[in-house]
Amino acid sequence: MKTALVAGSTGLVGSQLLELLLKDERYSKAIAISRKKLTLTHSKLVNVICELSQFASHQKDLKADDVFCCLGTTMRQAKSKEAFRAVDFDAPFSLAKISREQGAKRFLLVSALGANKSSSIFYNRVKGEAEESIRQIGFDASHIFRPSLLLGTRKEQRSGEEAAKVVYKFFGWLVPNKYQAIESIKVARAMLAFANEEQFGNFVHESREMQNF
């Protein structure tokens, strides 16, 4: 059986993914990285408590077969471009590099629709740069997931996201398939599914593909 590692385990996608992993018989252990101790308990769960900037100090605790990175913030929450980049680029890259050194075979990253390292939009550019950095590390397989607007209940509220959900509720039928909002559990299911396929190389999964899960 395998060991899974989840970064962002208290977030919208990460929390649901962690629950799926704990129920999945293909995994004997699920390592969850968090800044504070999780309230969730399970015989398979190992909670590694550390700041995103301190992965290097916990290298021996980050040994897993499949690494799921569900980290992400917003400019409103981060309050600066530097702080945003620390969460959405520096942390995923550091985790990927360290976990690969510890023997990880697969890395699965939640990115965003529109991610592009050449974009003039800061958010999209950082997401795209993070994707590219993961591809360069050399995992047996890397999977990038680009969801559209995520539907679900977060522990912390994101005002812009909540406003978008209200608009989508009434006008979602006008949105092209590529941009349709997606339930966070579908993203979690897709990540788990692709982590257990015998594929080699770098893959990108757009939001409309994840709608099938």
List pLDDT tens digits, range 17-51.
999 999 999 999 999 999 999 999 999 999 999 99
Among 123, 165, 169, 186, the active-site one is 123
Q: What's the residue count for the chain?
A: 213
Q: Annotated catalytic, 169?
A: no
- What ranges do the domains of the chain cover? 2-149+183-206
Indicate the range of 155-159, 181-185, 199-203 predicted with least confidence. 155-159
Q: Annotated catalytic, 123?
A: yes
Rounded to the nearest 10 degrees, what angle do helices 12-23 and 184-195 cross at? 50
Dist CA 66 CA 197 (whole Å): 11
Query: In the predicted model, what is the mean pLDDT of residues 99-109?
Result: 98
Q: What is the pLDDT of residue 130?
A: 98
Q: How far apart are the two ends of the chain, measured CA to CA in Å?
A: 23
Mean pLDDT of the chain: 91
pTM of the model: 0.90
C-alpha separations of 126 from 67, 75, 86, 92, 133 in Å: 20, 12, 10, 11, 10
Among 127, 155, 168, 179, the active-site one is 127
Dist CA 147 CA 39 (whole Å): 27
- Token pair, residue 115, equals 């991610």
Rounded to the nearest 10 degrees, what angle do helices 122-135 and 91-101 cross at? 10
Indicate the range of 54-58, 134-138, 165-169, 186-190 predicted with least confidence. 165-169
Radius of gyration of the chain (CA): 16
> Is residue 207 within 8 Å of residue 179, measured between CB atoms?
yes
The architecture of the domain spanning 2-149+183-206 is 3-Layer(aba) Sandwich (3.40)
Which of 102, 44, 95, 98 is CA-nearest to residue 72?
Answer: 95
